[in-house]
Amino acid sequence: MRVSLKDVAERAGVSIKTVSNVVNNYPHVTPAMRTRVQQAIDELGYRPNLTARHLRKGRTGIIALAVPELGNPYFAELAGAVIDAAAEHDYTVLLDHTGGSREQEILVCQGFRSRVIDGLILSPLELETEDLAARADDIPMVLLGERRYDLPYDHIAIDNIAAARAAVRHLLDLGRRRIAFLGARQDRVHQPAHLRHLGWQAELAAQGVPIDEALVVHSRGWGREDGAVAMAQLLDSGVVPDAVFAYNDLVAVGAMRVMYERGLRVPEDIAVVGFDDVTESRFGAVSLTTIAPDKQAIARLAVESLASRLDRDQDGAVTRTPRELQPGFTLVERESTLGRTTV
């Protein structure tokens, strides 16, 4: 039988209202009373009826996370972090996969699931400003990623230029000078590939290293196969770098496979740095040095921003100015630049 508020109230010897105040974490409860009620909750194994709680607020208790590619380990790991963060706010997460398609991103942000979700966290790739400006759906939305739209939505993204500069600086500090960049894009600006390319250029220029665009390989995608194709293209052109900064870890893994097939050693011949710090980067034959965005902070900030919007809407509060939030990142140094260590 399901334990009710009444059962808890009887065990604690208090009113049902007092139990409700404790369960909903209202501040005007004395520490002694909170402890007394919590003990009864623990003894009886009471679990709040979250569905009923959300329905009383006119909510479903569901938020959506829409990402370009769930098969990409970065987005899979980010989704896990968002699910964990949402649970702290008693929300269930509905996952959506847009494939990086503008049509699908428009469909998502225009609210085709707005009847079942309270809010949306969207990581767009192809969405344009006019698409968002024409948005008729009024559910709260938070944007992830590097595209900036100058529209009233909270936006969360790391500093990609600074992160790319940290990666290139690490390679320069190791004495590498011919640093290739794999995974550039020509067709879009203000996206991660464009910003990481800018960071590559900026750090080389800052340290007086000539910028050789022959070391830049453009790519239509950013998977393992794309990395392999890009590395083969670079080597087949007769350009042999002494280091590679890859758009992401998957591109780096594909590139290292081609290096192995061509008899090139990592890092002795070519040092490699990736981006994203996905789990796979730790378990290759050569572990991968990489930029690690703070995925937990990205998820936490996204959920907190959305929950804040939902609370304000519920209370009828004046909508606050949208925020640009910038989680941190770290450079994780591993064997692909430092070599194997012996004990």
Average pLDDT over residues 206-230: 94
Same domain? For 172 and 279 the reply is: yes
pLDDT in tens, 85-142: 999 888 999 999 998 888 999 988 887 666 789 999 999 988 888 888 888 777 899 9
Same domain? For 204 and 262 the reply is: yes
Query: 341 lies in a domain?
Result: no
The percent of residues in the chain predicted with pLDDT above 70, rounded, is: 90
Same domain? For 153 and 164 the reply is: no
Average pLDDT over residues 144-156: 86
Same domain? For 122 and 150 the reply is: yes
pLDDT of residue 136: 78
User: Per the structure, how many domains does the chain have?
Assistant: 3
Query: 335 lies in a domain?
Result: no
Query: Which range marks the domain in which residue 20 is found?
Result: 5-48
pLDDT in tens, 165-211: 999 999 999 999 999 999 998 766 657 899 999 999 999 999 999 99
pLDDT in tens, 87-103: 988 899 999 999 888 89
Q: Please tell me the distance from the alpha carbon of residue 123 to that of residue 143, in angstroms, as a whole number.
A: 6
Query: 339 lies in a domain?
Result: no
Mean predicted lDDT score pLDDT of the chain: 88
Nearest to 63 by CA among 141, 138, 137: 141
Same domain? For 167 and 286 the reply is: yes
CATH of the domain at 138: 3.40.50.2300
Q: With 60 as the cut, is the pLDDT of residue 336 above it?
A: yes
Task: Give the amino acid at 62.
Answer: I
Query: 39 lies in a domain?
Result: yes
Query: 259 lies in a domain?
Result: yes
pLDDT in tens, 186-196: 766 657 899 99
Write out the E strands in the chain: 62-67, 92-97, 119-122, 141-144, 154-156, 179-184, 216-218, 243-246, 271-275, 289-293, 324-325, 329-332
Same domain? For 165 and 288 the reply is: yes
The first and second tokens of residue 38, run together, are: 């919590």
